[in-house]
Amino acid sequence: MLVQRMARRYRRTNVALSEELRDLLRAAPSLDSPMRDHGNATPVPLDGDSRLPLIRTDQLGPAVTPVLVPAVKAQVEQLRDEHQNLERLAKSGLTPSRTGLFTGPPGVGKTLAARWLAGELKRPLMVLDLSSVMSSYLGRTGSNIRKVLDYAKSSPSVLLLDELDTVAKRRDDVAEVGELKRLVTVLLQEIDDWPSSSLLLAATNHGDLLDPAVWRRFDLVVDFPLPGPKGLEQALAQYCGPVSREVVQFLVHSLAGASFADAERLVMAARRRAALSDEPLFDVLLKLGQDRLRDMGYADRLHIALDLVQHGGISQRRVSELTGISRDTIRRRQRDE
């Protein structure tokens, strides 16, 4: 609104500036037309009954590089490289991967990887809003899906179908109604017709629920596993900032089997508690790590204690305080090993 007022104000005194401001407004993306800067000023599709947007545009913040295991990182980076080098592929008679399916448990970086790809490709990231797409009217849901996919095809973009298992369940499931089975057929047809100018990504936490035909429709399938110790160490170093290696190593062990989202949640809880209590972040992180250790069995805590002493570079006294395992027990087990 401010730029519109400025354009009107300068219409008499500085016509060139007024026109440039108007051109800027016409080109700038908005929530109603997120692909306007790519030459598509068409508003996002709406549901015919509720008039709610069928997609939501992800507001990109500062670029955050996801922490991924090497195999997954290589696949995601190749997807980026293919879409950044369309001409080189065309010279060899090739097209980039048009579609990608991200599978894995919650909190392992699937959505973050999609957001990172959109940022690297400088394209809007649009997420299918399943709450708006699903309709109680026969045939309306399939029509809504087509509207969303047609809109995303019209200009270079990245479309994320999050929780794909919600709309692409197995068609041989006797518990599902015919409408959802028809929806799977619609989705498969649309994926087959997807252009190489845009990128279609889908994510699911329950790959076993997907219809078998869905897997074959995606050019690339990437399995995001739970992070191992090295991945957690990298993530914690990114989340915690400048804290000692002792804290990071201890948290890596106390978060064994957790996801990246679990690790970030613990660090953010520690930051909030430290800000409110004026305690050092170092101490709060250790307390939260100890709280997680209390839920573990004695054998697991003993294994963690020995690993911290042998590979974490932490003294026996400090490890005993953190894990609750006596120094005598730690010494005896070290001698035995």
Q: How many domains does the chain have?
A: 3
Q: Are residues 78 and 161 in the same domain?
A: yes
The Cα 315–Cα 320 span in angstroms is 9
CA 33 to chain CA mean position, Å: 23
Which helix (H) or strand (E) segment is 108 a member of?
Answer: none
Q: Are residues 82 and 17 in the same domain?
A: no
Domain of residue 291 covers 229-336
Report the helix count and the strand count for the chain, using DSSP H and E: 16, 6
Q: Return the number of other C-beta atoms located less than 10 Å from residue 268's C-beta.
A: 11
Q: Are residues 155 and 202 in the same domain?
A: yes
Q: Which of these three, 223, 258, 277, is where a domain ends?
A: 223
Q: Which of these three, 223, 255, 275, is where a domain ends?
A: 223
Q: Are residues 195 and 242 in the same domain?
A: no
Q: Are residues 133 and 262 in the same domain?
A: no
The Cα 33–Cα 12 span in angstroms is 29
Q: Are residues 136 and 193 in the same domain?
A: yes
Q: Each residue's pLDDT tens digit in the chain (337 positions)? A: 888 888 888 888 998 998 888 877 766 665 566 665 555 556 777 766 667 777 777 755 545 678 888 899 999 999 999 999 999 999 999 999 999 999 999 999 999 999 999 989 988 888 886 656 766 555 677 778 888 888 888 888 899 988 888 777 666 655 555 566 677 777 888 888 888 888 999 999 988 888 888 888 899 999 999 999 888 988 888 888 777 777 888 888 888 889 999 999 999 999 999 999 988 888 888 888 888 887 788 888 888 888 877 776 677 888 888 788 888 888 888 888 7
Residues 6+ apart with CB under 8 A from 183: 141, 142, 145, 167, 168
Reported as a single tens digit per residue, the pLDDT across 232-268 is: 988 888 888 777 777 888 888 888 889 999 999 999 9
CB 44 within 8 A of CB 51: no
Q: Are residues 21 and 153 in the same domain?
A: no
Q: Are residues 267 and 281 in the same domain?
A: yes
Three-state DSSP at 281 gives helix
Q: Are residues 59 and 199 in the same domain?
A: yes
CB 223 within 8 A of CB 76: no
CB 249 within 8 A of CB 312: yes
The Cα 70–Cα 85 span in angstroms is 22
Q: Which of these three, 223, 244, 264, is where a domain ends?
A: 223
Reported as a single tens digit per residue, the pLDDT across 137-160 is: 556 777 788 888 888 888 888 999
Q: Are residues 283 and 242 in the same domain?
A: yes
Nearest C-alpha neighbor of 159 from the set 126, 188, 187: 126
Nearest C-alpha neighbor of 197 from the set 103, 96, 122: 96
